[in-house]
Structure 1
């Protein structure tokens, strides 16, 4: 038995090395599964970055309407939305959508 192992030593070591490299190719830190997980994470982060950039631009625009060039129409819209305030004789309707 020991004699057969000595003769097939190269084949046995080669087999385990190939098995080791194959498992690392698929499931290691730099493996195929890890690649797809990182690619998915990158796509999610890019979408989140676009959303946050849009929110920053929107907030910056609203801030400029209140500070740089004071826009009375925008102030009126804010008052109506936040305080449900209207002019005399004006009826305010609140429509609730039934979205599920």
Structure 2
């Protein structure tokens, strides 16, 4: 009986204690807690970095696409052909140099 009297007198204190413990546990470990915030912040940084990489790749593809339209940029095509086929013009002299000899 003494136990019940003590509990009845301090119901507010016990209720407040459990509410405070609940709030602090949710503040740190809950779905919107501090730990989840830092995890989401790290994910956000990764996604922003991925977004900038994809935007750069898109700009490169758009640039190449614009250069290969109806009004062709012949200088750009010549640069591409030279890189791909390693050739020169008719009157050009091509010197090969073996660097590792």
Judge same fold: TM > 0.5, yes or no: yes
Give unmatched runs, 5+ long, in structure 2: none
TM-score (norm 1): 0.74
Give unmatched runs, 5+ long, in structure 1: 96-100
Number of positions where the alignment pairs a residue of Structure 1 with one of Structure 2: 94
- Counterpart in the other structure of 1:74: 76
Aligned 8 A contact 1:86 1:92 in 2: no
TM-score (norm 2): 0.73
- CA drift of 1:61 comes to 0.9
Larger-gyration structure (1/2): 2
Aligned 8 A contact 1:25 1:31 in 2: yes
The CA deviation string for residues 22-51 of structure 1, in whole angstroms up to 9 with x for no partner, is 111112111122222222222222222122
- CA drift of 1:94 comes to 9.4
